[in-house]
Amino acid sequence: MRWSRLAACVLLVCAAGCSRPLVNSDCEWPRTERLRNLNDNALFAEDLAIRYADAHRGRRSGHFVDWDQYDGARETCMATLFAVVADAHHVTPARVREALTHRGVAFDGVVLLSFLAMYVFVVSRVVRRIFRSAPDHPAFVLSAVVIASIVLSVLGVAFLHIWAGAAEVFRVGNQHVSYRGERVPWRAFMPHLFAAGVIVVWATAARHYRVVAGGEPTPEVTSLLD
């Protein structure tokens, strides 16, 4: 199916972007790690700092005291590694930190499109079942579409959050995403995505109605729409 192929694509893209065989928890830049572009190196340095804090001050490290010490260890290590990256790219450490906010449009686009493909597939199945359940009762069909649009949109927003989070794990190459999850762009547009989900359901229902009814509404449906 097309939706499953698109879903597989996002996993492949994410996996390709997170292949970092030289990670360590010692707050050291791997000697054999080749220099990439500034954005990639900044993300890698940040990940090494998080791994260092997890290993030396995290809850499972055996040395956890409080979150202030954890954050301090992470930031100290990050500053050290940012200095390495800054020196390699002839920029300031502040410029390296600023590079963390730069995300690849292609990556986020694949994540969103793969989710959209799955959402449209599910919506099509649900709408088709609604129309088949009571073809001679347009009032029931209309009510069911209204309810389905709300329920599916709520579930869609929730699943997109999970889907984007899983993709972020692949992108950074670390199950502990930490505060990096706040950078996922869709988090700031959940109300807009909910509205878009409702529109998709109604557009799918309208398209299915045109196919079933040949574009000529029955008197009952006409009275409902009026």
For position 15, what pLDDT does the model report? 46
For position 20, what pLDDT does the model report? 53
For position 18, what pLDDT does the model report? 46
Residues of the chain above pLDDT 90, percent: 59
Mean pLDDT of 129-156: 90
CB 171 within 8 Å of CB 18:
yes
Query: Residue 196: is its pLDDT beyond 70?
Result: yes
For position 187, what pLDDT does the model report? 80
For position 17, what pLDDT does the model report? 46
Query: Residue 223: is its pLDDT beyond 50?
Result: no
Query: Residue 12: is its pLDDT beyond 60?
Result: no
Mean pLDDT of 171-176: 89
C-alpha dihedral, 7 to 11 to 16 to 22, nearest 10°: 180
Mean pLDDT of 197-203: 96
Query: Residue 10: is its pLDDT beyond 80?
Result: no
Binned at pLDDT 50, 70 and 90, residue 224 comes out as very low
Mean pLDDT of 99-114: 89
In tens, the pLDDT along 37-73 reads 899 899 999 999 999 999 999 999 999 999 999 999 9
For position 214, what pLDDT does the model report? 59
Query: Residue 3: is its pLDDT beyond 60?
Result: no
Query: Residue 34: is its pLDDT beyond 90?
Result: no
Contacts of 55 (CB under 8 A, 6+ apart): 25, 61
Contacts of 89 (CB under 8 A, 6+ apart): 35, 38, 41, 96
Mean pLDDT of 131-153: 89
Indicate yes or no: pTM above 0.85: no
Binned at pLDDT 50, 70 and 90, residue 33 comes out as low
Question: What is the C-alpha separation between 181 and 167, in angstroms, rounded?
Answer: 10
Nearest one of 23, 207, 22 to 131, comparing CA atoms? 207
Query: Residue 147: is its pLDDT beyond 70?
Result: yes
For position 213, what pLDDT does the model report? 60
Residues of the chain above pLDDT 70, percent: 83
